[in-house]
A and B are shown apart, each in its own frame.
Chain A
Amino acid sequence: MRLTYFPFLVAVWILACGLYGMITSRDLIRQIICLIVVQSSTYVMLVGVGYVTGGIAPYFSDIAGPHATVDPVVQALALTDVVVEAAVTALLASFAIQAHKRFGSLDPQDLAEFKG
């Protein structure tokens, strides 16, 4: 059944949308947001890969007896990645601030012209 791949195809679609935005946008802030979109596709992919049919969240404080749970390893990966992504976004935003101060523009095309 083809539909069993649907969440993975959603991740591919989000990745493609983000890449398209990064290539076509004429604004550094928009490009940073598109990079966040690209990274979001990895979360969909990770959490999708770890899903187990009928599985519940891997927290055992109120689960009585054995029960199928979703894979906690990919959730741990996604959890730390979200925070690291936010810090990297802040670093990129500071580069955008610096570029705007130096060149008075946020258009990557203008920055390229200033380079020589």
Chain B
Amino acid sequence: MTPGQRKRAFLVGAAGLVILLIWAVTGLPGFGAYPGPYGPAITRHAVAQTNATGVVSAINFEYRGFDTVGEEFILVAAVAGMSVVLRRLRGEKEQPAAREELPGGGPATSEAVRVAALALAGPTAVAGWWLATHAQANPSGGFQGGVLLATAFVLVYLSGEVLAFRRISPASVTEAAEALGAGGFAAVGVTAVVLGLPYLDNFLPLGSPGSPGAVTSSGTIALISFLVGVAVAAAFVLVAGELLEQRLLSSGGTTPGKG
């Protein structure tokens, strides 16, 4: 099938899909007229039930916690798959010449990028840490906080400190942290079962209703969010490390093998 034929076949199918989708969305209640029972019900009761003022976090780490465990393991599986795909190739291509290139093999960095990246690394890490540990009150929790934490590591790389990036994120530590975060999330759920409660039930004491901002105010929500933050941060540092390693190896003089 030539690209031209493929494009024509696609345009016929896409036209049908778009027509069906437009038919479907015009059958929805209009924009702003959300009728669903779940959102309003949770919004009404979440603060009283979980003592968390951030209802999205309360859903992610409490009401919908079981589903979030699944998403967490999708993330872990994707990162593990990436490590496997790239690791086998590295064994094939690893050459002494490529290794020796590494210390100076980082990207040529301008002073402006270097200063900006180094200045941002600290505040980014602090913001990520705060987001990951205060899920009960802020709009993100561990997922977004973890990505910010990983960004702080990547900023160290961007500042040209390739060796520092590798020193602060050895694969043994990041892999262990990822496993600890993901496994810890599942373990919190199992702990509830051991205590005779439903899986992932909030078994830690809630704080007083007047203190919704404190880390300890909403039981397991902050704990789970922190574990998710650790797992996500470790996962994305691993991703960045693997991909940057590929870049350094290919710039180290290895030629790609042809078919």
Residues of A within 8 A of B (CB): 1, 4-9, 11-12, 15-16, 19-20, 23-24, 26, 48-54, 57-61, 69-76, 79-84, 86-88, 90-91, 93-95, 97-98, 100-104, 109, 114
Contact = CB atoms under 8 A, between A and B. Distances in A.
Contact of A59 (B42, B55, B258): B55
A74 to B, nearest CB: 7
Contacts of B139: 57, 59
A26 B4 CA distance: 12
Contacts of A72: 39, 42-43, 46, 55-56, 58-59
Contacts of A61: 53-54, 137, 212-213
Contact of A95 (B38, B46, B85): B85
30 contacts: A5-B26, A5-B30, A9-B25, A16-B17, A23-B10, A26-B3, A51-B31, A58-B54, A58-B56, A59-B56, A60-B53, A70-B39, A71-B34, A71-B36, A71-B38, A72-B58, A76-B59, A76-B64, A79-B141, A79-B143, A80-B143, A83-B71, A83-B146, A83-B147, A84-B74, A87-B82, A90-B239, A91-B79, A97-B243, A101-B257
Interface residues of B, number: 66
B74 A75 contact: no
Nearest to A8: B25
A54 to B, nearest CB: 8
B78 A12 contact: no
Nearest to A41: B21
The secondary-structure label for the interface of chain B is helix
Contact of A12 (B18, B68, B89, B239): B18
Given A8-B28, A49-B28, A74-B39, A87 B79 contact: yes
A91 B53 CA distance: 35
Contacts of B60: 76, 79-80
Contacts of A82: 143-144
Interface in B1-49: 3, 6-7, 10, 14, 17-18, 21-22, 25-26, 28, 30-34, 36, 38-40, 42-43, 46-47
